[in-house]
Structure 1
Amino acid sequence: MKAFLAKIFAKRIVNKEQKWIENPLEAQDKILKELVAFAKNTKFGKDHHFDEINTYQEFKNLVPVNDYEGLKHYFDEVVTGKSDILWPGKPIYLAKTSGTTSGAKYIPLTKESIPYHINSARNALLYYIHEKQNADFVNGKMIFLQGSPILEEQNGLKVGRLSGISAHFVPNYLQKNRLPSHETNIIEDWETKVDRVVAETVNADMTLISGIPPWLIMYFERLIKISGKENVQSIFKNLQLMVTGGVNYEPYREKVNQLIGRKIDCIQTYPASEGFIAYQNSQQSEDLLLLLNNGMFYEFIPVDEFFDEKPTRISIKDVELGKDYVLILNTNAGLWGYNIGDTVRFTSLKPFKIVVSGRIKHYTSAFGEHVIGHEVEQALQKTIEKFPASVNEFSVAPQVNPAEGLPYHEWLIEFDQKPQNIAEFNKELDVQMRKQNTYYDDLITGNILTQLQISIVEKDGFQCYMKSIGKLGGQNKVPRLSNNRDIADEFYTLNLINKQQ
Structure 2
Amino acid sequence: MSVKSVFAIPFAKQVARRVYKWANNPHKTQDKVFKELISKAKNTAFGKDHDFENITSYEDFKKRVKVQDYEGLRPYVDRIVAGESDVLWKGKPIYFAKTSGTTSGAKYIPITKDSMPTHIKAARNALLFYIAEKKDASFVDGKMIFLQGSPVLEDKNGVKLGRLSGIVAHYVPQYLLKNRLPSWETNCIEDWDTKVNAIVKETIHEDMSVISGIPSWVQMYFEKLIEETGKSVSELFPNFNFFIYGGVNFEPYKNKFESLIGKKIDYIELYPASEGFIAYQDSQTEPGMLLQLKSGIFYEFIPADEFFDENPTRISLSDVKLGVNYVIILNTNAGLWGYNIGDTVEFTSLKPYRIKVTGRIKHFISAFGEHVIGKEVEKALNDAIKDTNTTVSEFTVAPQVNPTEGLPYHEWFVEFENEPENIVDLATKIDASMQTQNIYYQDLIEGKVLQPLIIRKVKKGGFHEYMKSIGKFGGQNKIPQLSDNRKIADVLQNFLKE
TM range (shorter): over 0.9
Q: Deviations over 1:283-329 (max 9, x none)?
A: 11341111111110000000110000110000001111011000100
Q: Structure 2: which amino acid aligns with 1:497?
A: L
Deviation for aligned residue 1:240: 1.9
Letter matched to residue 357 of structure 2: V
Amino acid of the structure 1 residue aligned with 2:300: E
Tell me what 2:367 maps to: 366
**AA aligned opposite 2:20:** Q
Paired residues of 2:214 and 2:475 also in contact (CA < 8 A):
no
Partner of 2:457: 456
The residue that corresponds to 2:496 in the other structure is 497
- Determine the structure 2 residue equivalent to 1:141: 143
Deviations 1:114-155 (A, max 9, x none): 110000000000000000000000001000100001100110
- Summarize deviations over 1:195-254 as a string: whole Å, max 9, x none: 00000000000010011101110000001111222x101111111221101111111111
TM-score of the pair, normalised by structure 2? 0.99
Instruction: Look up the equivalent residue of 1:52 and give its one-letter code.
Output: N
SS in 2 for 1:203: coil
What secondary structure does 1:70 align onto?
helix
- 2:314 maps to which residue? 313
State, as a whole percentage, how many aligned pairs show the same letter. 62
For the residues of structure 1 that align with 2:286 and 2:182, how far apart are their CA atoms?
31
Q: Distance in 2 between matches of 1:454 and 1:328?
A: 35
In 1, Cα distance between equivalents of 2:355 and 2:297:
16
SS of 1:394's equivalent in the other structure is strand
Number of aligned residue pairs: 496
CA offsets per residue over residues 49-89 of structure 1, 9 Å max, x none?
Answer: 10110000010000000000111111111111110000000
Answer with 194-203 or 384-393: which moved more: 384-393
Instruction: For residues 408-461 of structure 1, give each alpha carbon's deviation from its aligned partner in whole angstroms, at most 9, with x where no partner exists.
Output: 000000010111111111111100111121111111111111100000000011
1:388 CA displacement = 3.0
Residue 220 (structure 2) aligns with: 218
Deviations 1:353-392 (A, max 9, x none): 1110000011111011111111100111111115431100
**Which residue of structure 2 aligns with residue 344 of structure 1?**
345
Q: What's 1:465 paired with? A: 466
Verify: 1:32 aligned to 2:52, yes or no. Answer: no
* In structure 2, distance between residues paired with 1:408 and 1:97: 33
2:195 aligns to what?
Answer: 193
Whole-angstrom CA distance in 1 between matches of 2:38 and 2:166: 30
- 1:130 is matched with 132
Say if 2:217 and 2:475, in contact at 8 Å, map to a contact too.
no
| Equivalent residue number for residue 258 of structure 2 | 257
Matched residue, 1:152: 154
In 1, Cα distance between the equivalents of 2:121 and 2:420? 43
2:179 to 164, 177, 180: 177
Contact 1:327 1:342 in 2 (8 A): yes
| Structure 1 position 41, deviation (Å) | 0.4
Asked if the contact 1:99–1:105 (Cα under 8 Å) also holds between the matched residues in 2, the reply is: yes
Structure 1 window deviating more from structure 2 (245-254 vs 312-321): it is 245-254
RMSD of equivalent CA atoms: 0.8
Distance 2:12 2:272 in 1: 20
Instruction: Show the counterpart of 1:111.
Output: 113
- Residues 212, 243 of structure 2: 8 Å contact kept: yes
Give the Cα–Cα distance (whole angstroms) in 2 for the partners of residues 200 and 374 of structure 1. Answer: 37
2:244 paired residue number:
243
Aligned pairs (5 A) from 1:286-301? 286-301=287-302
Give the aligned partner of residue 13 of structure 1. 15
> Contact 1:195/1:222 (CA < 8 Å) preserved in 2?
yes
Partners of 1:223 and 1:388 in 2: how far apart? Answer: 23
* Equivalent of residue 74 in structure 1, options 72, 76, 100: 76
Cα deviation 1:70-110 (Å, max 9, x = unaligned): 11111111111110000000000000011331211100110
Q: Secondary structure at the match of 1:134?
A: coil
| DSSP-derived class of the 1:147 partner | coil
Residues 367-382 of structure 1 mapped to structure 2, 5 A cutoff: 367-382=368-383
SS of alignment partner, residue 183 of structure 1: helix
Q: State the alpha-carbon separation in 2 of the partners of residues 299 and 484 from structure 1.
A: 29
1:54 aligned to 40, 48, 56, which one?
Answer: 56
Q: Secondary structure at the match of 2:441?
A: helix
Q: Secondary structure at the match of 1:71?
A: helix
Gaps of 5+ in 1: none
Counterpart AA for 1:148: S
Q: Is the 8 A contact 1:145 1:211 kept in 2?
A: yes
SS for the counterpart of 2:61 is helix
Structure 2 counterpart SS, 1:83 = coil
Aligned to 1:2: 4
Deviating above 4 A after TM superposition, structure 1's stretches of 4 or more consecutive aligned residues are: none
2:170 alignment partner in structure 1? 168
The match for 2:410 is 409
Contact 1:95 1:162 in 2 (8 A): yes
Matching residue's letter, 1:193: K
Q: Return the alpha-carbon distance in structure 2 between the equivalents of residues 474 and 91 of structure 1.
A: 25
Paired letter, 1:176:
K
- Is the 8 Å Cα contact of residues 147 and 475 (structure 2) preserved in structure 1? no
Gaps of 5+ in 2: none
Whether the 8 Å CA contact 1:137–1:241 is kept in 2: the answer is no
Q: State whether residues 387 and 425 of structure 1, in contact with CA within 8 Å, keep that contact through their aligned partners in structure 2.
A: no
Matched, 1:432 2:436: no
Q: CA deviation at 1:8?
A: 1.4
Does structure 1 conserve the Cα–Cα contact (< 8 Å) formed by 2:145 and 2:180? Answer: yes
The code of the aligned residue for 1:413 comes to V
* Residue type at the aligned position of 1:207: S
Separation in 2, partners of 1:311, 1:137? 47
Which stretch has the larger CA shift, 4-13 or 379-388? 379-388
SS in 1 for 2:342: strand
Contact 1:342 1:358 in 2 (8 A): yes
- What residue identity is the alignment partner of 1:79? V
